[in-house]
Amino acid sequence: MTRLCRKVRGTDLAVLDLERPESDAYRVIVEECRAALAEDRSGAIVLGCAGMADLCERISRDIGAPVIDGVTAAVKLVESIVSLKLGTSKIGDLGYPLPKLYTGAMKELAP
């Protein structure tokens, strides 16, 4: 992903700052997003906090670029994998684990 990710930025905001109306958390986030577009030449922003999920559309309007919530994107990806009836390969390094010999107190749990 290194070649696809321009930079990882942080704001040092507490998640609960987003819940306080008197907080300037939204402004700080938008400024950081604008800096990412200008300084890093990013084409989109991926938010790293699920607590910001409801801000995506608003931030996107304010900065004029796509803003993605990672949690929502991950859920949609999993939904598509499930609807396609796909799963993890059972070949090679993702294959089923080798049978184990149970001994001692664990012997009673053996299949």
Per-residue pLDDT reduced to its tens digit, 33-43? 999 999 999 99
Q: Are 24 and 9 in contact (CB under 8 A)?
A: no
Type of residue numbered 74:
A
Residue 46's alpha-carbon distances to 6, 8, 39, 56, 103, in angstroms, are 11, 9, 16, 9, 48
pLDDT at 21: 86
Q: What is the pTM of this model?
A: 0.73
Question: What domains, with CATH codes, occur in the chain?
Answer: 15-109 (3.40.50.12500)
pLDDT level of residue 26 (50, 70, 90 thresholds): very high
Per-residue pLDDT reduced to its tens digit, 76-104? 999 999 999 998 888 888 888 888 888 88
pLDDT at 27: 95
Task: Indicate the helix (H) or strand (E) that contains 95.
Answer: none
Residue 77's alpha-carbon distances to 18, 60, 73, 83, 94, in angstroms, are 27, 21, 6, 10, 20
The number of angstroms, rounded, from the C-alpha of 35 to the middle of its chain's C-alpha atoms is 21
Type of residue numbered 57:
E
